[in-house]
Every structure is written in C-alpha cells, then in structure tokens.
Amino acid sequence: MVRTFPLTKYHGLGNDFLVLFADAVDAGGPKVDGDLARRVCDRHRGIGADGLLVASEPSDVERTAGIDVVMALMNADGSPAEMSGNGIRCLGHAVARSRGLREGPLVVATDAGRRDLWIRPGSHPGETLVRVGMGEVRPGPAIPAAVTEHLDGRRHATADLGNPHLVVEVTSPFEVDLLVEGRGLEEHFADGINVEFIASTPDGLDLAVWERGAGITEACGTGACAATAIAAGWGLVGDSAHVRMPGGSAEVLLDEAEVVLIGPSELIAEIEVPW
C-alpha cells in the first residue's frame, strides 16, 4: 500500500505555494526539511511551487500570547525564508479553510515576528482576501560598491521586512531582463537579496521581481511593501499605493506603526503526495 501525505496548493497573484500542516505528517512520514521542499516544489519532477509553507500548532506559551498558528517557509531551492507577503496570505487562507473561518482575525508567528491577519471572502468561492500587518520597514543591508557602479546613477536603496530587499528605479520594470539583472545584482550580496525593479504610475507602482531562493516570480508581497516604503521616501507615492505586478495587483498602506499588505489568495488544488 502506498502511503501519502496531504498538501494544498494556493497562489497569491501567481506566486504559488504548497501548504503542509505539520500534524498531518505522522512520525513515520517524510522529514519536513529543505530536501522535501525541493522535491515537491520541482516543476518537472514534483508538484511545482515557489515555496513550501509549513503550518504548526503553537506552543502553550505562544498560544497564551495569542498566536493561532506558526508558519515556516522554505523556498523552492530548499533554503529557509523569513517571510513572504504572498505566502502568509496563502497560509492564512489554508488555516481559515481548515478551521471553517470565513471572516475574522488570525495571528501567525513567523521567523520575522508576529503577523496579524484579517481574513474575508473574495470574489468567488476559491478566493480569500487577506489583510496582513507586515511590521516595520527597517534599513536593509549595506549596498556593495559594485552594485552602485553597475546601476550607474539609477536610484536604488535597500530595506528589510524580515527578509532583505534591493529596490531599483527603472523606466519600465516589465522590460528588465530579470534573469540577467536580478540574478546579477543578487550575487553581490553574500546572504542573497530580493531585487525589485519599479516605476511610478498615476496610482502607485509597477514592479517586477527577482526573488532570493526562487528566481523570477509573478509577484512579491514583501517586495511590494519594501518598494512602496522606499518609493514614498523618494516622493514617488504617498501613504498608499496600488502595486501592479505581472501576476496581479496588491494594495500597500503605510502608517507610523507598520506597513499593511492587502491582496488575494486562491485555492488551486488539494493533493495527496506519495512517499
């Protein structure tokens, strides 16, 4: 008899994730680690995704602090990631479905800290809209001189939302060769970095992204937040922005306490995976 374990697949603006509930894998099941993430996220030999999200029950201490679920994220290449704005919306959607929650709050513990979500129905049965308090936008890593030299006068800056970002202003983000430019810029950062190319629009920003550990993706929630905060500092946007990415659009709100991300999550499939 073939033994299986369950996964669900979601996407947030084309940024797709597999969600695994840790308690669904018994003691004799597969080890939940980077090797498993690489296996299931492989688009040719696995199911295919930008990352694997693992939802675990909180400890007693975490539960007392109001935590509903603990999130861990592994990129498609098996490396750990501290945070994903699209990923946490997908995880929130999955947890809400498992608990029969159509609308209401959900508190998630992540490697980047506590994140407060509000879940509500989307425009069709498979979609949920999620508002996420993404925390404070902090200064990012130092920019190597080689990056500044390569960008040759183009405005750029780094930020940190629990994961690092390099934001670069360009004329047309959707015409940037991300495989060359995004990967080339990331290689100058020892710990890797997400690279967002942006341009201002009448109501916000256009954005294309190269993601650390995943490569070219259709959207990046933390990237949208980092880009909006940096663009506001440059005077390109105000305290809110409609961020248009290849996979769709998200809303980003800035206030004194934190940056807020609002966008959809959509259920793709429920899957039984043999091991």
The pLDDT tens digits along the chain (275 residues) read 788 889 999 999 999 999 999 988 866 678 899 999 999 999 999 999 999 999 999 999 999 999 999 999 999 999 999 999 999 999 999 999 999 999 999 999 999 999 999 999 998 989 999 999 999 999 999 999 999 999 999 999 999 999 999 999 999 999 999 999 999 999 999 999 999 999 999 999 999 999 999 999 999 999 999 999 999 999 999 999 999 999 999 999 998 789 999 999 999 999 999 88
Give the C-alpha distances (Å, rounded to integers) separating 205 from 97, 170, 174, 208, 249.
Answer: 32, 11, 12, 10, 10
- For residue 153, the model assigns a pLDDT of 94
115 and 19, same structural domain? yes
Backbone angles phi, psi at 231, to 5 degrees: -60, -35
Identity at 191, one-letter amino acid code: D
170 and 53, same structural domain? no
160 and 127, same structural domain? no
233 and 269, same structural domain? no
User: What is the bridge-based pairing of β-strands 15-21 and 51-56?
Assistant: parallel
- For residue 10, the model assigns a pLDDT of 98
250 strand-pairing partners: 243
The candidate with the shortest Cα–Cα distance to 89, out of 240, 224, 198, is 224
200 and 125, same structural domain? no
122 and 91, same structural domain? yes
Confidence (pTM): 0.93
269 and 240, same structural domain? no
Backbone angles phi, psi at 22, to 5 degrees: -55, -35
Number of independent structural domains in the chain: 2
How many residues are present in the chain? 275
- For residue 27, the model assigns a pLDDT of 63
267 and 237, same structural domain? no
Distance, CA of 73 to CA of 94 (rounded, Å): 14
- For residue 28, the model assigns a pLDDT of 67
Whether 111 contacts 162, CB under 8 Å: yes
142 and 113, same structural domain? no
Range of the domain at 150: 138-256
Site of tokens 């004329």: 171
